[in-house]
Structure 1
Amino acid sequence: MSTPCLELVIYKIKDAEKARAARRAAQELVKTYDGFLSWTAYDACEEAGLVADAVLWRDIDCAKRAGDRVMKHPVFAGLMAEVDGMVSMAQYQADRTVTSDAVAA
């Protein structure tokens, strides 16, 4: 059984609109990769130009293979051109998940 892998990338961008368009193009590319489960793109609430991408993979091997592929693909180059600095990039495996006990009304 494989263990899901969360890839969390936090970075600064140059131009919000260009970066948004480039990130969406990259999402369309990556969703075709083996082991891809989801990609949620976040914009910082209180710091302009700071974004985070949370990409969920079937396992760490799929995440690593995808990382090798995206760095060579021209579609992904558009996103990289809008990056103004990397804050953090790493893959994670879940230790524990808790959910709310609240019941929807």
Structure 2
Amino acid sequence: MTDQVTELVIYKIKPNQVENYQTNIIHHFRELVKSFDGMISYQTYHAVKEEGLFVDQVVWRNLECAEFAAEKVKEMQQDEIYAPYLSAFEEVKFFLHVKQVA
């Protein structure tokens, strides 16, 4: 069995920020996350029937890498450079690390 962990995040972007989030903000943030050790893949999905609802699916080499990245993101959110990214968020609805069982 693999040690890989999938991180699932469901979040809402403010209505006036959705276009900017999709065309600019998410790409910059994805590049940042890709720089963290252990990141294997990163996919973002947009809800079909609910405007502004997104799901991120990030696969990490193991739980330690996933938790380290989550802590780094929390720290970086204190930096002014990430203010445009953070101001786009309305709320984080769900955040969970899971492992495949079959």
* TM, length-normalised to structure 2: 0.85
2:49 is equivalent to residue 46 of structure 1: yes
Against the structure 1 CA distance between its residues 40 and 19, is the aligned structure 2 distance closer, same or farther, given a 3 Å change threshold? same
Give CA deviations for 1:25-83 in whole Å, capped at 9, x if unaligned: 01001101100001101000111010000000000000000011112224654332211
Residue 27 of structure 2 aligns with an amino acid whose one-letter code is R
Cα distance in 1, alignment partners of residues 82 and 54 from structure 2: 16
2:40 is equivalent to residue 37 of structure 1: yes
* TM, length-normalised to structure 1: 0.83
Q: Name stretches of at least 5 consecutive residues in structure 2 with no aligned partner.
A: none
Q: Name stretches of at least 5 consecutive residues in structure 1 with no aligned partner.
A: 97-105
Higher-helix-fraction structure: 2
TM-fit CA distance, 1:87: 1.3
Cα distance in 1, alignment partners of residues 33 and 83 from structure 2: 13
**Preserved contact between residue 70 and residue 76 of structure 1 (Cα < 8 Å):** no
Residue 26 of structure 1 aligns with an amino acid whose one-letter code is F
2:29 is equivalent to residue 23 of structure 1: no
Cα distance in 2, alignment partners of residues 40 and 76 from structure 1: 20
Corresponding residue for residue 78 of structure 1: 84
Query: What is the SS of the residue equivalent to 2:49?
Result: coil
2:96 aligned to which of 90, 98, 102:
90
Query: What is the SS of the residue equivalent to 2:65?
Result: helix
The alignment of Structure 1 onto Structure 2 pairs a total of residues equal to 96
Cα distance in 2, alignment partners of residues 95 and 78 from structure 1: 38
Against the structure 1 CA distance between its residues 10 and 85, is the aligned structure 2 distance closer, same or farther, given a 3 Å change threshold? same
**Preserved contact between residue 6 and residue 54 of structure 1 (Cα < 8 Å):** yes
Whichever of the two has the greater Rg, that structure is 1
Q: Aligned-pair RMSD on alpha carbons?
A: 1.7
2:70 is equivalent to residue 67 of structure 1: yes
